[in-house]
Amino acid sequence: MGMQNNKAAVKGPVEWFTGDVWINGIVEPTEDSTVSVAEVHFAPGARTAWHSHEGGQTLYVVDGVGRVQSRGEEVVEIRSGDVYLTRSGEEHWHGASHDHLMTHISITQGPATWGDHVND
């Protein structure tokens, strides 16, 4: 018997995001696993605040054009089919480009630590 995910998309909290972001939870952490998987939809120009993940994060872009930046590095363009990895504790942000929507699957292990919002 398979599991079904009928949970509604939730609006990304303003503490974590700039602009309009919707999150579809796919896998929630349990007492047996700290893995979290979500499909995250960004409106043009929307982005996360600076944050890091204990255990790292994998982003798999499923649609659109986005941008990602790790602290101290250049902004990188990401497109449908791209995979972007951040190491455990690596501070970074990601979101849609200014003129495109972007959707990615986020696979994280462990909790996130949230920081300041990203300036234009």
Domain positions in the chain: 10-114
How far apart (Å, rounded) are the C-alpha atoms in residues 75 and 55? 22
The CATH superfamily label for domain 10-114 reads: Jelly Rolls (2.60.120.10)
pLDDT tens, position by position, 11-32: 999 999 999 999 999 999 999 9
Report the predicted TM-score, pTM, of the whole model to 2 decimal places.
0.91
* The dihedral formed by the CA atoms of 88, 109, 32 and 6, expressed in degrees to the nearest 10: 170
Per-chain mean pLDDT for the chain: 94
Nearest to 100 by CA among 69, 68, 64: 64
- 6, pLDDT greater than 80: no
Q: Are 113 and 54 in contact (CB under 8 A)?
A: yes
